[in-house]
Chains A and B, each alone.
Chain A
């Protein structure tokens, strides 16, 4: 198990009980938790953390049900300074706002009710990938029998080379660069096929099916290439750290 990193977390949640419960759970894990009950409060705290010359925030947890606006401006703030990871917490159902924020650059999402274990896992992954889609931290990904090397563009399954078409590899690589995090349909389509293809969900269905057929022992029960229904796709975290 990789060592737990101590993080400075900003939790933006307007429900008092949930805020207290989550903050306590995070503090037990050793994180420094700051809380805000509104977007305005959160933005103010972000500004302040940078101004004091002290340590800046490491991660923002944002609940979507806030009274004073959606998180778009907060997300913009996070992107503007340095790449500050932001995880969206949504109340469930198919919320278009959740997907909008993910498309706009939020790193991951959680649906209430969620377990603390899931929250911690997503937080860890988000920090690991912090702002590194362009120069990815992950160039080599391995899990069980599957191995992906982004620099040599080779994929090995049980030690045997797997032949992937260029598009299939691009798609796989995009998921690997954010291993452990969800990538929305729109971002995948934009990054692999270009911005004019963002509505062509059928491309993803076809190519993901092809990837699963080639890389998974049981395509209907994928162990690595997971589907997040209504949101996008996610490849599980690799076990070997770079």
Chain B
């Protein structure tokens, strides 16, 4: 299905557009989400029925996807008003009122959770049938396809034109896989993603961990090894569904906002062995969120706040890999400066991988970096490595996305670190900086960057956002410095 993903999303939209009941993209997404969920859950249940002799579905037989939605083209499948009545009068009330209590396993309770807030907006039973058939055709049985979840979400988001402003970018699988591989998961460890979206990092982690399973204890540890938080309902639902597909029957993924807790309140039980994240950049949060952070780390940039959360939620023995935009590397406002200072002085920031600009194409052309750090000791030195565009590529795109093999040079270099100078004098592709050098540079981590011969053309939205953000940063910096000068002038001696 991956190949025709764009086509799938398009067909879905075309069908729903004709329906008088669905208004706007938000409702379209909601409609799609619960249908996808039921389809996946049904596929999962078929597995569980085989694995567990006494498996009993929480969903009454009549409401199981295979029994009402699947069309065997014998002409018996419900359609038109009959189908519509079934969904509205039988299916929804039943699923919303499923008997759930604290002892119900998560994998069963999830059905009720998902349906609590779900609605059927469609009013045309024939169109509903068309949509059901389209979804029923998807085969969610392999990794490729399940990862396509994120892509579905992204495609829809893009249609909504909100991808940019909400700052939620689907992290390409090549990148999540690379990061998971580099942090080298071990059985018994727990990974956390405090803005997990559709669960891309969690899936990549599981994929790395799976070959290590040897015993039943290992399998249990594997199933317990993920922790996620997602703020938005739709990606949250997709994430749960995604994890179910990957045999995590009790996914510890919560529908919550990671920024609403005071970071100083975190104790050891809140901390993770490994954190893999691509925090949202430029997302919007209420101003009072900042009061949950120490004053020097408070910022209006969500990426900064998440970085602070990561630092407070990493175990003493923990490791982390985080994707951050270039702005974090060179930014010198108070919060970024303090975060980077803390990162160098209290954490071991051992590697920064600079990624090419179009990794997130076509959703945004913002350039990003992967920061690898752990808490073993203060930073002695940091290696910077610039990952260049693979040969023959000018940029990545929808049809030519980044692949894991494009990280091969970085992986090779990872285990055999050497300084690599550019052909042009003075710049480097890879270089080691001591903590002292970085401190002297004012914690400017913008090292080994791309030679800036050609100016990157961003989208108008990104251009404006960058401008407004950078201007606000500089204005703030100006104000701070002016205040400092004023104080200095007033302190007479």
The answer on A and B forming one complex is no
B contact residues vs A (CB 8 Å cutoff): none
A contact residues vs B (CB 8 Å cutoff): none
